[in-house]
Amino acid sequence: MRLIKGFRNVISFHTDFTCPRCRGYTEFFEDRERVWLGCERCRKWVYMEKQEAWNVFEEDGWRGLMDELTKAFSKYVTRG
């Protein structure tokens, strides 16, 4: 585990989802209000408010939450 530049005291880890733009592994982390998924190399991130993330998690579990975030991220980075 390592901290991402500019964000302190957050949990972060690499996911098994690769960035559609650079093929690097994406990174997941959370801060006080949000959960984030993105690519440090491309400097692109998407986030979800924690309340929303929690709702998805309760409904569909961890995999469901990751699906939502990775889909949003894919859309974001491939939009050009």
Interface residues toward Zn ion, by CB under 5 A: 19, 21-22, 24, 39, 41-42
Using CA atoms, how far apart are residues 73 and 59, in angstroms rounded to an integer?
20
Q: CB of residue 40 vs Zn ion: minimum separation in angstroms?
A: 8
Give the residue with the Cβ less far from Zn ion, 61 or 71. Answer: 71
Give the residue with the Cβ less far from Zn ion, 27 or 68. Answer: 27
Q: CB of residue 23 vs Zn ion: minimum separation in angstroms?
A: 7
- CA dihedral 69→72→77→80, nearest 10 degrees, is 180
Which amino acid does the sequence have at 59? E
